[in-house]
Structure 1
Amino acid sequence: MKTSLFIFPNKDRSYFDIIDEVQKVGFDGIELYRACELLRPDTEAAEKIGEYAASKGVAISCISVGANLWRDNPSEDILLLKRYVDVAKALGTPYLHHTLGSVMRHKDMNLRYRCILSNITKALREICGYAKEKGITVINENQGYITNGVPFFEELLSEIDFDNYGLVADLGNILFTDCRPEAFVGRFAPFIKHVHVKDYLYKSGGGLFPGEEWMMTKEGNYLYDAVIGYGVIDFQKVFRILKSAGYDGYFSMECGRETGLPHNIEKGLRNMKRYYENC
């Protein structure tokens, strides 16, 4: 099992500090975000970070960037993502992961599915074409209420004919569509290049509202960020599917505000390894 940490760093920290911490805790790699020295697409800074990580024996599993490609004119996002393709190249990672555009509120669901899919497909073809010239693979995760779930990615994959394109299986995000992660992984295992590992507590939406800290799913149920192993995800089942498909990429533990506390990171890594070893 190749482990990685995906954390959203505070403004007062550097990636050099975080790489030191990742090595100390015992992760094999780190997934970088558009933050700290990489808040802007700076290839010189990326080269220094890549060299430092290599000197510490820490792999850069991926770089992640937020984007919205379902808008009618996502030209600015496309240009930005092309520049982060160059950053990925400078870092020495094979993967650029970017979001497609997340909808997390029911009042924002007034979008036409076919228009969204068409806009995303057109943008992705341009980004993948550029990334292919640089030797970088573009990967997208399941996220939000719309760009998530098996039906959406069935259609998206049928439209993107690039060998440098793949998926990130976000094992927690799939719950926001009220589906199970084993359904997503079971269908797309051969296309999965990277895995985001996180867990959630679950409450039925039929009861009292549990509080503002909880997030609502598409069908009105509630999720709360949890340490890996404390929530509802059957990691042994999911990992078994990935193993049987020959998955050899990173399992990147994604941390929220509370799960990103040092003692919770250690617990999450311990449990993630345990589930993998016993699946």
Structure 2
Amino acid sequence: MKIAVTVGSDQAGDSAFVVWRGFEKSIRKAAEFGYDGVELAMRSAMDVAAGDLKRWLAESRMEVSCITTGRMFAEDHLYFTHSDPDIRKKAVSAYQQLIDMASDYCELINIGRVRGGVGEGQSEEEAEKLFSDAFQQLCSYAERKKIQVLIEPVNRYEMNFINNLDQGAAFLSRSGYSNGGLHADVFHMNIEDDRIGESFIRNRKWLKYVHIADSNRLAPGFGHLDFEEIFGALKAADYNGWISMEILPGNDPDMAVKKAIEYVLPWCVPVN
């Protein structure tokens, strides 16, 4: 498994779950601490100049693990279940631009909070229909660019739609798109899934990407999650994709990033 850390631009708002801000310095620091790549928390494809990003990655010999899109929701209030069709159209267009960006750097892009939820006056069936329409449009667009579109279940205190891996897998099964998948986040799973390990194994067919944080959203080892169970289940599920640290900076961001990789590295490196 390769290990990444989630980073944002200098302009990333407080709602962005990133440990560092500023793409150039974040990429260089992540490389210094032994990470294989960075996950880019994007508001739009205009957050960074393509030439600059390619140069920074090449100089640090780093990869992009995934592009995540929660900032579209948190900062621009764009989401796919919005009651206003013009807002939905704008959300799809902005997301397609991020798919275009992803095609230059990685194979994965996520849908977390940007999917939206069940709004006032909506039924769950109506919200799912709106999201399903957008998801099919985006998967079709992404398929031509060889990009996988991943649904990230989010806990009930932040979203009221697709909260656990079982619900995400059921939606993916109904969608019928082969380039759809699950982006699991153990912080959310600790709240919503019956057992984190069992849910990983049960939904292994769809599992494409994993966010790691402890129960308090700090670096692993600073809360109460059972990472022996988590990584044992990932091994049992034959998962060999990216592990990405989506953690809060705490009082010492550099220490958090360093402690995070030190804590999980023994489970991620194959034993000969």
Q: Distance in 1 between matches of 2:168 and 2:110?
A: 15
Q: What residue identity is the alignment partner of 1:64?
A: T
The TM-score normalised by the length of structure 1 is: 0.79
Partner secondary structure for residue 226 of structure 1: coil
Q: Kindly, what percent of the aligned residue pairs are identical?
A: 22
Letter in 1 for 2:132: T
Is 1:99 the equivalent of 2:117? no
Q: How does 1:1-279 map to 2 (within 5 A)?
A: 1-11=1-11, 14-34=22-42, 39-42=43-46, 45-66=49-70, 67=73, 68-72=79-83, 73=85, 74-90=88-104, 92-101=105-114, 112-145=123-156, 146-177=161-192, 179-200=194-215, 224-258=216-250, 261-276=253-268
Q: C-alpha separation between the residues in 2 aligned to 1:58 and 1:185?
A: 28
Distance 1:22 1:43 in 2: 19
CA 247–278 in structure 1, closer or farther in 2 if over 3 Å, else same: closer
CA contact (8 A) 2:218 2:247 kept: no
- Displacement of 1:77 after TM fit? 1.0
Per-residue CA deviations over 1:204-229 (Å, capped at 9, x if unaligned) read xxxxxxxxxxxxxxxxxxxx333302
- Residue identity in the other structure for 1:228: P
CA contact (8 A) 1:7 1:255 kept: no
3-state SS of paired residue (2:209): strand
Write the distance in 1 (CA, Å) between the matches of 2:121 and 2:249: 30
Q: Distance in 2 between matches of 1:260 and 1:127?
A: 38
Please give the alpha-carbon distance, in whole angstroms, between the structure 2 residues aligned to 1:164 and 1:190: 12
SS at structure 1 position matched to 2:81: coil
Query: Structure 2, unaligned stretches of length 5 or more?
Result: 13-20, 74-78
How far does residue 9 in structure 1 lie from its aligned partner after superposition?
4.9
Give, in whole Å, the separation in 1 of the partners of 2:27 and 2:59: 10
Instruction: Provide, for residues 173-216 of structure 1, a one-character-per-residue CA deviation record: whole Å limited to 9, x for no partner.
Output: 1233364322431221221111100111xxxxxxxxxxxxxxxx
- TM-score normalised by structure 2 residue count: 0.81
Structure 1 segments unaligned to the other structure (5+ residues)? 201-223
Deviation at residue 11 of structure 1 after TM alignment: 3.0
After the TM superposition, which segments of 4 or more aligned residues of structure 1 sit over 6 Å from their partners? none
Equivalent pairs counted in the alignment come to 249
Q: Distance in 2 between matches of 1:44 and 1:264?
A: 25
8 A Cα contact 1:88 1:95, kept in partner: yes
What is the aligned partner in structure 2 of residue 206 from structure 1? none
Deviation at 1:158, TM superposition (A): 1.8
